[in-house]
Amino acid sequence: MIQEHLPALQVVVPLAAAPLIVLLRHAGIAWALAVAASLCAFGASLALALEVARAGPISYAMGNWPPPWGIEYRVDALSAFVLVLVSAVGALVAPYARRSVAAELPREQHYLYYAVHCLCLAGLLGMTITGDAFNLFVFMEIASLSMYVLIALGRDRRALLAAYQYLILGTIGATFYVIGVGLLYLATGTLNIADLAARLPEAQATRAVLAALAFITVGVSLKLALFPLHLWLPNAYAYAPSAATAFLAATATKVSVYVLLRFYFTVFGAPLVVDALPVPQILIGLSAIAIVSASLVALWQTDFKRLLAYSSVAQIGYITLGIGMATRDGLTAAVVHLFNHGITKGALFLLVGGVALRAGGVDFGRLRGLGRRMPLTSLGVTLAGLSLIGVPGTAGFVSKWYLVLGALEAGQAWLAALVVLTSLIAVAYVWRFVEAAYLSEPEPGAPSGEAPLSMLVPSWVLVGACLWFGLDTSYTVEGARRAAALMLGNAP
């Protein structure tokens, strides 16, 4: 019974937890509910992933209305992979949030934070699991609206401006997306993704379909912060509450990447997107600019959280670069980096949240001598930083390996050179932290002491994951390769 309805429960549990939290309004109960809902979602995603690996894609008819008339939930190798990432990060951030939120938000807003956390989780999971293009828009709005609130809850007043900026750009993105979906409906008369994929070849190159592709590309690119549509991201990450930054950085842009992959390779198909149109060239060009410029900008930041935010723009560039290659290795790199960068940045932002709690901020002045003041946190940041660089033995290395391999096999040596040379910029910005933490004397009177265990443990779980998935890649690489094969094989 439960097994049968897992796809629905995946979304319904966190979705239902949110109004319950608002009704109860007690900070402690709200937290407990959010943790329980996040853990349930994680369990559901694991069960779904196992089932997909065993028996192939799952199709679930919402309310027993069979697709394509009803809303279909569909879990395949790609969506199962993303569901596990999103729900795992959600399940780690929820217990972490208690101390962090208590320190950063006024008490009367605590319950609100947890309600919005659950809503955001439900929205992101819904975007990933749904097999219906319009339903995807609905979940996109749920996730986006809750993100605006999460960001605006930041105690820095600039958080409001950042949330407003994101609200404007995010709404434009969602609107573009829904216009694209509308055009597709016009051309095919269906909203079900599988059905769209089946009917589009008949309507192949009509102007409406091409316009739909353009609208969806721009709309989703805004959401995933592809250069030059990334302007909302650095401020949003920098001023949001620590727990929210970690959650958003590890999941939100990744789900948008998933949506892009879904539309490019399932709905429109590789022959149209990759072969007939210059989409790969555009993606590769923009990604290259994103990687180089954002890495360089990151190098000059005075605030470590902002540095990491710009690094995210660059790292998203690596993902879209892999998509642009549109080969099996390139797509493997994109999907595996989506996962690896999710856990790496998640770990970094969680640890940075611990520093913010103890030191009151994370500009480089406050990081001086951190190696002695918070040894475990500093070591964690250093190890996750190595994963960001792509040192062998860490998750980031696996991504770099497939990116370079994909570039070499496509005969584009300059892309391989771009990937390895920009990794050196990452060395430089990670080492700014290492030198500050280990080779500088702390400022007099700088606070000392580790972050509380409830924050340190989830952070270190992700740091451990960065190392584990660097040595044993059977889950990540196999999952990514299956997803890549699915995307290229599904092409009509």
Q: In the complex, which residues of this chain contact other proteins (CB under 8 A)?
A: 386, 389-393, 398, 400-401, 404-405, 408-409, 416-417, 420-421, 423-424, 427, 431, 435, 438-439, 471-474, 477-478, 481
CB of 166 to other proteins, least distance (A): 34
CB of 100 to other proteins, least distance (A): 29
CB of 450 to other proteins, least distance (A): 17
Token pair listed for 225: 């912060």
C-beta of residue 151 within 8 angstroms of C-beta of residue 236 = yes
**Of residues 325, 357, 372, 352, the one with CA closest to residue 488:** 325
CB of 438 to other proteins, least distance (A): 7
CB of 470 to other proteins, least distance (A): 8
CB of 274 to other proteins, least distance (A): 21
> What is residue 180's three-state secondary structure?
helix
- Give the count of alpha carbons within 13 A of 174, CB side only: 19
- Which one, 386 or 455, has the nearer CB to other proteins? 386
**SS3 letters for 168-179?**
HHHHHHHHHHHH
- Which one, 13 or 389, has the nearer CB to other proteins? 389
**Max CA separation in the chain (angstroms):** 71
Distance in angstroms (rounded) separating the CA atoms of residues 216 and 158: 30
* Burial of 449 (C-beta count, 10 Å sphere; 0-12/13-18/19+): exposed
> What is residue 277's three-state secondary structure?
coil
Contacts of 160 (CB under 8 A, 6+ apart): 152
- Which one, 41 or 437, has the nearer CB to other proteins? 437
Stated as kind and residue range, the H or E segment containing 286 is helix 279-299
Quote the crossing angle between the two packed helices 77-104 and 6-24, to the nearest 10°: 10
CB of 434 to other proteins, least distance (A): 8
- Which one, 160 or 427, has the nearer CB to other proteins? 427
Q: Which residues pair with 192 in a beta bridge?
A: 132
- Which one, 203 or 420, has the nearer CB to other proteins? 420
- Which one, 230 or 482, has the nearer CB to other proteins? 482
**SS3 letters for 207-273?**
HHHHHHHHHHHHHHHHHHCCCCCCCHHHHHHHHCCHHHHHHHHHHHHHHHHHHHHHHHHHHHCHHHH
- Which one, 250 or 407, has the nearer CB to other proteins? 407
Distance in angstroms (rounded) separating the CA atoms of residues 365 and 360: 11
CB of 421 to other proteins, least distance (A): 6
CB of 335 to other proteins, least distance (A): 14
Distance in angstroms (rounded) separating the CA atoms of residues 429 and 385: 9
- Which one, 168 or 439, has the nearer CB to other proteins? 439
